[in-house]
Amino acid sequence: ISSGNTDRSTRLCRDALCLDDFEMRARRHLPKPLFGYIAGATETNASLRHNAEAFQAYAFRPRVLRDVSRRSTETSLFGKTHAAPFGIAPMGISALMAYRGDIVLAQGADQSGIPMIISGSSLIPLEEIAAVSPQAWFQAYLPGEPDRIDALIDRVAAAGIGTILLTVDTATLPNRENNVRAGFSTPLRPGLRLAWQGISHPRWTTGTFLRTIVRHGIPHFENSYSTRGPPIISSNVTRDFGKRDHLNWSHLERIRKRWAGKLVVKGIMHPEDAARAADTGADGVIVSNHGGRQLDGTASPLQVLPEIAARVGDSIAVMIDGGIRRGTDIMKALALGACFVFVGRPFLYAAAVAGLPGVLRAADILKTELHSNMALLGVTGVNDISTDYITRT
Ligand code: FNR
């Protein structure tokens, strides 16, 4: 069975020519509620569409007859050198999509020389994931109560993690009606519908679901707060989200005082908020609308990136995520003022359908695209990519 699975992974990886190819395969491989959870957004999916369309609003102005034979995608960020200017965005409950999903993502990132962000909603303890990838960052959802915040910060520091990231675009639960339609909820409620999905997706059921339960027991939310959260499968436990709608800038100040490492704020969409984060001592921001999964109708991060970069780009690291699927998307983001980007869904699809080889293949596709497209644009280093190379369509 194991060699059959390896052959299958190898074949899947060989056949995947771009990141979107993993999505097609994941649609078949995953039970509908789980695929829907990853692919979906909120309400009308307008933010999600904006994210993809935004990249089409810009086009390149390549320069020619330059010697680009010695070019590199290497990028420095927070004193570390990465193989490329992209990393893996934090994604909750990944271990339900792929066997030991977060570990697989962390290993893939580590072996590819890129950073991965551990989700605050992961089903594997942050300490286990950080042990696999010392470069990993941790994304915190804050509980709201000060002593629980302190305990979480101390736990992350004790795990040896150097960068903490605060996601701030989740003041309350969004209306993800697509999840309701697809039968997804946290915790997952066992029932006939779920059982049928399991039967009709046998590779996921045996390779991920049953294997997880047999080897590790029923998964729990392990990182949301300083203590273990509720199990992912239940008929009667409601998820404790803490008091997230109480969060304000004083919480960021509190964390800045307690946390000695790098501090990043994720979910910034307005230059004033970026400036406030910088004034509070943040080392960076991720311009993000959460992959279109929070406020529906939010602008795309790419759209607001130039004004945010103009405001704080000289003082802190301005990063971006949302809709990045190609090396050329990365180049557009860098041209508009980002120094680094993060990619979400495609890496989770790759982990789900092909495990570690899938994550490695996805990273390699993106790196290779970037490397060759940099030559076609006429640049030899990622820092050379500026607004001079693009125009609005
Ligand atoms: C997410 N995202 C997310 N963000 C976060 O800060 N904490 C989290 O736990 C999660 N969980 C999560 C799960 C899944 C399945 C997805 C798809 C996304 C948002 C994520 O970090 C990132 O902002 C977007 O996914 C980026 O957009 P793309 O690359 O998926 O288009």
Q: Domain spans of the chain?
A: 2-392
Q: What is the per-residue pLDDT for 243?
A: 67
Is the model more confident about 266 or about 194?
A: 266
The pLDDT tens digits for 137-154 are 999 998 878 888 999 999
Q: What is the mean pLDDT of the chain?
A: 94
- Say how many Å lie between the CA of residue 258 and the centre of ligand 1: 26
Any catalytic annotation for residue 82?
no
Residue 317 pairs in a beta bridge with 284
Q: Is 207 in the pocket of ligand 1 (CB under 6 A)?
A: no
The pLDDT of 14-19, averaged and rounded, is 95
d(CA 142, CA 242): 8
d(CA 310, CA 223): 35
Strands 390-392 and 86-88: unpaired
Check residue 46 and give left, alpha or beta (phi > 0: left; psi -120 to 50: alpha): alpha
Q: Is 119 in the pocket of ligand 1 (CB under 6 A)?
A: yes
With a pLDDT cut of 70, the percent of the chain lying above it is 97
Q: What is the per-residue pLDDT for 325?
A: 98
ipTM for the whole complex: 1.00
d(CA 316, CA 7): 45
Provide the strand spans (E) within 107-211: 117-118, 137-140, 163-167
pLDDT band of residue 109 (cuts 50, 70, 90) is very high
* Residue 240 pLDDT exceeds 70: no
Q: Tell me: cis bond preceding 187? Omega within 30 of 0 counts.
A: yes
- Say how many Å lie between the CA of residue 384 and the centre of ligand 1: 29
pLDDT band of residue 7 (cuts 50, 70, 90) is confident
The pLDDT of 292-313, averaged and rounded, is 98
Q: What is the DSSP string of 55-104?
A: GGGEEE----S---SS----EEETTEEESSSEEEPP-TTHHHHSTTHHHH
Q: What is the per-residue pLDDT for 236?
A: 62
The closest of 260, 189, 261, 212 to 33, measured between CA atoms, is 189
Q: What is the per-residue pLDDT for 1?
A: 42
Q: Does domain 2-392 have CATH number 3.40.50.1100?
A: no
d(CA 287, CA 304): 8
Q: Please count the helices (runs of H) and the strands (runs of E) in the chain.
A: 17, 12
Q: What is the DSSP string of 345-363?
A: HHHHHHHHHHHHHHHHHHH
Q: What is the per-residue pLDDT for 80?
A: 97
d(CA 62, CA 331): 12
- Say how many Å lie between the CA of residue 292 and the centre of ligand 1: 9
Q: What is the per-residue pLDDT for 238?
A: 54
The pLDDT tens digits for 159-194 are 999 999 999 999 888 888 999 898 898 888 888 888
Helix (H, G, I), strand (E, B) or coil at 377: helix
81 contacts: CB under 8 Å, gap ≥ 6: 74, 75
Q: Is 50 in the pocket of ligand 1 (CB under 6 A)?
A: no
- Say how many Å lie between the CA of residue 70 and the centre of ligand 1: 35
The pLDDT of 252-263, averaged and rounded, is 97
* Residue 232 pLDDT exceeds 70: yes
Which residue is catalytic, options 201, 246, 290, 371? 290
The pLDDT of 249-269, averaged and rounded, is 97
Residues 239, 243, 248, CA angle at the centre, nearest 5°? 145
Q: Is 329 in the pocket of ligand 1 (CB under 6 A)?
A: no
| Cα atoms found within 13 Å of the Cα of residue 127, Cβ hemisphere only | 11
pLDDT band of residue 224 (cuts 50, 70, 90) is confident
